[in-house]
Amino acid sequence: MKTILKVENLNVELEGEKIICNLYFEVREGEVLTILGPNGAGKTVLLKTLLGILPYQGKIEWAPGIKIGYVPQRVPFVKDFPISIEEFFKLKTKNEKEIKEVLKLVGFEENFLKKNLGEISSGQYQRILVSWALLGNPNVLLFDEPTSGIDISGKETIYQLLEKLRKERNFTPLNPPEAERQSRNLTGLTILLVTHDLSVIYKFSDYVICLNKCPICQGRPKEVLSSETLSKLYGQEVKFYEHYHAH
């Protein structure tokens, strides 16, 4: 698998405060990279920097032609927002076929488009944001705490959805048959995920960066995550358990 993102000696300073220091990492096609750390550790700043929103020093090199989808943290869920789901999607594209395709990918039928955003649950709203990010057929999806403010059952659904998208979504406008996928060596989505949810790391991530402004550790989760590492990262004893999904 080729490298899709290379970051070298990344430093970010905002209003005179050092937010990220001396960060190096690479991401390859189809991988899931998780960024883990306490509040104020620079996780959201890192995503915004990778998107080119914030100034930085160092090197951020995306593979040529990469398209990125982004789901930001805590997009407000407004119950009386006077817009239908279909109108919301059409703010980004008028391609009805693509809208229906991404809606189906996150588990909704076509008639769901007629609902108002304010009618749906917070978990359904989060899935709508994921499908919004999928418009334009991105190669990379950036998620900033995708389960923030969602109940436990909703969290399960979102992580199952991300795992499904990772395996099934490809770099072509429509998914080809499996034989064609293998013959063309197509790779699933690359995902960069910010989360506080320690339980999902082993199940979902290929690589983890433990960040508290400066990197504390990074590598394969089973190789680098330990109670000692997490204590150093969070400043207290942290326990976590492997997370299993029913299939």
What angle, 0 to 180 degrees and rounded to 10, lies between the N-to-C axes of helices 152-168 and 122-134?
Answer: 20
pLDDT of residue 118: 83
pLDDT of residue 200: 74
Helix spans in 36-93 (H)? 43-50, 85-90
Q: Does 239 fall in a domain?
A: no
Q: Does 240 fall in a domain?
A: no
**Number of domains present in the structure of the chain:** 1
3-state helix, strand, coil in the chain (%, to 5): 35, 25, 40
Q: Does 206 fall in a domain?
A: yes
- Can you tell me the distance from the alpha carbon of 4 to that of 29, in angstroms, rounded to the nearest whole number? 6
Domain coverage including residue 71: 3-234
Q: Does 15 fall in a domain?
A: yes
pLDDT of residue 245: 45
Give the pLDDT means over successive 10-residue stretches in the chain (247 positions). 93 95 95 91 95 96 94 68 89 93 86 89 81 90 73 58 69 41 51 82 88 93 88 70 44
Q: Answer whether 62's CB lies under 8 Å from 236's CB.
A: no
pLDDT of residue 214: 92
* Phi-psi group of 114: left, alpha or beta (phi > 0 → left; psi -120 to 50 → alpha; rest → beta): alpha
Q: What is the CATH number of the domain that holds 169?
A: 3.40.50.300
* Phi-psi group of 103: left, alpha or beta (phi > 0 → left; psi -120 to 50 → alpha; rest → beta): alpha
Q: Does 196 fall in a domain?
A: yes
Tell the burial category of 24 from Cβ atoms under 10 Å away from its Cβ (0-12, 13-18, 19+).
Answer: middle
Q: Does 82 fall in a domain?
A: yes
pLDDT of residue 153: 52
- Can you tell me the distance from the alpha carbon of 240 to that of 226, in angstroms, rounded to the nearest whole number? 10
Q: Does 78 fall in a domain?
A: yes
Q: Does 97 fall in a domain?
A: yes
